[in-house]
Homo-oligomer: A and B are copies of this chain.
């Protein structure tokens, strides 16, 4: 597994690097946030191990920027056990949070757990000539990337996560628009229409985004 290690402390960098390699991982190392973000994009690691408290950007900043453009699993290291920082980190999308001091065993276990979860999803769905990459938030039809608005994504995401299964109108409204919405089925009609226009060959007779009258919608692979 390819691990990107981001830490400004040379000693720790070395220690962790050795431990990770000993466990059979391929290790990339950077010492600051800027190069970390760059490396995360260019080298496509499987996991990022991120130490908070870097020289140029705060670790939380790095995390935020990472999350803005990718869903690579991130394990955060920190010297503080404070709950606020921990919650902040998890809020920004960290997948796990490890407090120093920690044993190499623990870190390895967390990395394994986090990577397993990320891999076990259903990252890319193929349906006909559609390719839907949920983590990357990309859809392509016949190789051409299609732009979706945030709401369109919310809807498609929800439907695609349970292929072939009906999702009720209420569920869709609650999840995409919020718990206060439950009767505004009009929204669904408008946005399903928009999705069909972008994704279906013949929006008038859809093959993937199927209506179940009176009940909801389903995504058919």
Query: Residues of A with Cβ closer than 8 Å to B?
Result: 11, 14-15, 18-19, 22-24, 26, 28, 35, 39, 42-44, 83, 87, 90-91, 95-96, 117, 120-121, 135-138, 147, 149-150, 153, 161-162, 164-166, 168, 170-171, 174-175, 179, 182, 212-216, 218
Contacts and interface: CB of A to CB of B under 8 A. Distances in A.
B15 A165 contact: no
A117 to B, nearest CB: 6
A217 B85 CA distance: 43
Number of copies: 2
Q: Is the contact region of chain A dominated by helix, strand, or loop, or is it mixed?
A: mixed
B43 A174 contact: yes
Contacts of A14: 87, 90-91
Given A43-B174, A153-B215, A214-B149, A117 B166 contact: no
A34 to B, nearest CB: 13
Contacts of A18: 90-91
A76 to B, nearest CB: 12
Given A117-B22, A137-B166, A213-B149, A83 B43 contact: no
A149 to B, nearest CB: 7
A3 to B, nearest CB: 13
A216 B137 CA distance: 10
A215 B165 contact: no
A138 B166 contact: yes
